[in-house]
A and B are shown apart, each in its own frame.
Chain A
Amino acid sequence: MNIIEIKELTKNYPLGSTIVHALRGIDFNIASGDFLSIVGPSGSGKTTLLNIIGCIDNASSGSVNIGGVEITKLNDKEITDIRLHKIGFIFQTFNLIPVLDVLENVEFPLLLMKNRSKSEVKKRAESLIDAVGLSEHIKHRPSELSGGQRQRVAIARALVTNPDIVLADEPTANLDSATGEQILELMKEMNRKEKTTFIFSTHDSNVIKYAGYVLKIKDGKMVN
């Protein structure tokens, strides 16, 4: 079963008087539970593609269907809801909320869901922190953690809502290679355990080996 179906997707950015064609017609499907890597050089359109799949940017044309929902037709509130419930994000720069400690950062998406009890939220968040191996640092603020630890928190936060898809835009780019590998290992492990679809982008050929499936992209087009 395909969790994501993309057809003839294009994305243009206006830049001054010119137009940047970031995506020039992308077609592909992703099956549920995949561990997919989008690979391409810098500026090839990886981030743009992930943003569109992650529902934080909209397509210029084409269709994007996630879990049977055509997202290009939704309004902001609905699309925000899809982000919250179906998608988890892992960022290159970790993007943890600096005023919240580890536990709170992980709880954050659950709290946005509102109708959950406090203890339920805490239990779920703690189990994920445990899973990413940060039980010791539960009360620490992001600034007190190393880059790898921060990215683990980000992984826990991305998975805490039990999303259909986790998107990671160059998750290892800001980490040394050893830590980067640990993070990918962790992601892979989570993909196995939680059966969550993982899509991560990278321009680093070293990390491609972790991918179950690789999508190559160049100048906004898939290359195969």
Chain B
Amino acid sequence: MKFLFIISLRNLFRQKRRNILLGSAMAFGVMILIIANSFSHGISDILFNRIVVYVAGHVNISINEGKGRDLPLFRDRDRLTKIAVETAGDKLIEYNEGVGIFLRAIGNGKVENLVLVGINTISRTLTQKQREEINESFKMLYGKFKDLGNKSIENPAILSKEKADALSVKPNDIVRVRYRNIYGQTQSSRLTVVGIMSNDNIFMQGVMFVELTNLKEMMGYRPYECGSIKLTLKEPQKDAADVADKIHSALRPGPAFILATAKVLNQDSSMNPDVSTSENKNSNPNTISSNNQNADTSPRVTLIPFMGNDEPLKKLMLSSFKLSSGNVKDVFGKDGMMVSDYLADILKIKQGDKLEFHFKPKFITKDKPEFAVREAIFSAVVKGIFISDDSTGKETIYMHEALFYPKFYENLPDLQSDSKFAFIPKEKASFKPALGTEWVLLDRSRSTDDLKQKLRAAGRKKIKAATIDVNSMYESASDVLKLENALNIITFTAVLILFFIILVGVVNTLRMTIRERTREIGTIRAIGMQKKDVLLIFVIETAILTAFASIAGTILAFISMAGLSNIAFQITDNPMGILLVKDRLHFVPTFIGIVGNIGFILFISIITAFFPSRKAANLSAADALRHFE
């Protein structure tokens, strides 16, 4: 084998000019391929790690609790982030609460539009690489990045040099901002400039940074709430879709309910002249004794929402429940509420009475003790009474989603601990599909169009529960990613060019060589070399040439890339500008990419060399020896 290699190598040097020509063509092709590949990797890197991450995240979990308008609000941040982080596992680099707002900022007599972005400076555990990246994107001209977390300053903020100039603010100046919080309320705040940075990333230039907790408070989030979440993955192209799928299935909602105590509101005699509470109590002195004792300690009930805004589900409810009083239109309509006959009995209530519910929220707002909600209270009018059975539960009250969810989300109850005491209709109950869940998980979508359509459909349904939608960048940013396909075409074209160079070059060269060496082939066959070794001699010869050419091409590619990325492009008003990094073309050669490319080229050149070589090997020795040129 070794001496076959030596023969091949020496043979290669016999026709220097011809092989140098072919080798140069190959090297050129390899160069183009590697440059194209590195460029498209660079673009991918920009797309996936510099654009998509900011725009959509590799995977994003978007929440909408809004009724009509967009309200990115999830009431239990820790639960959501835990699910996301645990599901993504070691594929995750970090997660961000994707909060950012457009705002109008007033500096010293100047007004500008800005994007305010929250950065978690406090509880962030960063890897060395992330730290470097942050330092890279936050080239501080003044102040320190960590000042964002300074509690003694009112809303510390860092902004880009461009925007600082535009607002004519200097460090320690106050910027007043106007924006709308998540609920759409007009809000204004004062931000203190603690840092000014220079930034090459266009996305960053219009951005002002504040500490995430400050921003969330400005936006109207309570500390335990969060908005949409964006995940940044280590290998987005490989894992994004899969992680999104897994998170999606981990986010299946449980049933929604409120475990509350119910109290009959003191009925106003003028409003209900025929029913007075005291009368009622007196006239029924011996209803179920245990309950009578509890007449003023109110019974514990489970409030269960039904999806009355969805016609088919409403029909399902209608057909599953029998009313002993109340009219169907009221009971199942907006503000509809029906109480079990059992409860109606205990509470001595009838249609039209008002009930007050008290329940414990999961989170008690500690930050503003004066508003601390230790007990959530709301009231609603009984629209009907249903005949209860085992499937409906006895101590249950069913409510229209429009009535239920605002109260449910406003003071989210602790479902996990409450579920021990609550009545939760069984899975097999006929009306189960019509009951509300903690949230509505939207189906995964396949593309941006699909996603838009889905959200529109969800909007039309007027779901009152919060919706959760899990998307990978392939759905949420598929438009951006289309660019990647365009680039792959460039690479593919380079491959094609190379393929033809190899095909034409190798086949031609080999045919000439073989013709010239016919007698030599005859000789070595006569001496006793096997066919397969003859074949190998030629294949190896081509492979060596290809390998040399590849190395040369790689070196050339690196030289060219170094040269190309030295040129600064001043593209300011062209959207293609986002594909530059620091005004320069961004090449990301990868070891795998280069080795893969070279491997691929070797493969095609060997395949191409194989056929003429086999023809040479199959020559009859006698004929070959008789051959004279």
> Which A residues fall within an 8 A CB radius of B?
47, 51, 54, 56-57, 76-77, 80-81, 83-85, 87, 89, 91, 93, 95, 97-100, 104, 108-109, 111-112, 157, 161
Contacts and interface: CB of A to CB of B under 8 A. Distances in A.
A175 B159 CA distance: 93
B615 to A, nearest CB: 15
8 residue pairs, one from A and one from B, having the closest CB atoms = A84-B528, A99-B10, A57-B622, A56-B621, A95-B523, A83-B528, A51-B622, A56-B622
Nearest to B528: A84
Given A51-B622, A99-B7, A100-B7, A77 B526 contact: no
Nearest to B621: A56
B529 interface: yes
Contacts of B625: 51, 56, 91, 95
A172 to B, nearest CB: 18
B530 A80 contact: yes
Contact of B523 (A80, A84, A91): A91
Interface string B501-531: 0000000000000000001101111111111
15 contacts: A56-B621, A57-B622, A76-B531, A80-B525, A89-B523, A89-B527, A93-B519, A95-B523, A95-B625, A97-B520, A98-B14, A100-B10, A109-B527, A112-B530, A112-B533
Given A56-B625, A99-B7, A84 B14 contact: no
Contact of A80 (B7, B10, B531, B626): B531
Contacts of A85: 528
Given A56-B625, A57-B620, A95-B625, A112 B7 contact: no
A4 B620 CA distance: 23
Contact of A109 (B520, B525, B528, B620): B528
B515 to A, nearest CB: 16
A57 B620 CA distance: 8
A86 B82 CA distance: 79
A210 B621 CA distance: 29
A24 to B, nearest CB: 18
A128 to B, nearest CB: 14
Nearest to A77: B530
A26 to B, nearest CB: 17
B11 interface: yes
Q: Of A54, A85, A98, A99, which is in contact with the most chain B CB atoms at under 10 Å from its CB?
A: A99
B3 interface: yes
A76 to B, nearest CB: 7
Interface in B521-578: 522-531, 533
A89 B10 contact: no
A99 B526 CA distance: 18
Interface residues of B, number: 23
Contacts of A98: 14, 520
Nearest to B620: A57
Q: Of A47, A97, A104, which is in contact with the most chain B CB atoms at under 10 Å from its CB?
A: A97
A14 to B, nearest CB: 12
Contact of B526 (A83, A93, A100, A111): A83
Contacts of A104: 3
Contacts, number: 67
B590 to A, nearest CB: 39
A80 B524 contact: no
Nearest to B524: A97
A56 B523 contact: no
A157 B523 CA distance: 12
Nearest to A158: B527
Nearest to B14: A99
Nearest to B618: A76
Contacts of A95: 519-520, 522-523, 625
Contacts of A97: 7, 520, 523-524
Nearest to A154: B523
Contacts of B519: 93, 95
Contacts of B626: 47
A89 B530 CA distance: 16
A81 B528 contact: yes
B512 to A, nearest CB: 16
Contacts of A111: 3
A56 B526 contact: yes
A6 B626 CA distance: 23
A27 B523 CA distance: 27
Nearest to B519: A95
Contact of A54 (B7, B526, B531): B526
A56 B531 CA distance: 13
A84 B533 CA distance: 13
Contacts of A54: 526
B527 A157 contact: yes
A97 B526 CA distance: 12
Contacts of B524: 97, 108
Q: Of B11, B528, B620, which is in contact with the most chain A CB atoms at under 10 Å from its CB?
A: B528
Given A76-B531, A84-B528, A97-B520, 11 more contacts: A56-B622, A57-B620, A77-B530, A89-B523, A95-B520, A97-B524, A99-B7, A99-B10, A100-B7, A100-B10, A104-B3
Contacts of A99: 7, 10-11, 14
Nearest to B529: A112
A99 B7 CA distance: 7
Q: Of B11, B527, B622, B625, which is in contact with the most chain A CB atoms at under 10 Å from its CB?
A: B527
A180 B531 CA distance: 33
B527 A112 contact: yes
Contacts of B520: 95, 97-98
A56 B525 contact: yes
B219 to A, nearest CB: 78
B218 to A, nearest CB: 80
Contacts of B528: 80-81, 83-85, 87, 109, 112, 161
Nearest to B2: A111
Contacts of B529: 80, 84, 112
Nearest to A163: B528
B520 to A, nearest CB: 6
A157 B528 CA distance: 12
Contacts of B10: 99-100
A81 B526 CA distance: 10
Interface string B610-629: 00000000001110011000
A89 B526 contact: yes
Q: Of B7, B519, B533, B626, which is in contact with the most chain A CB atoms at under 10 Å from its CB?
A: B7
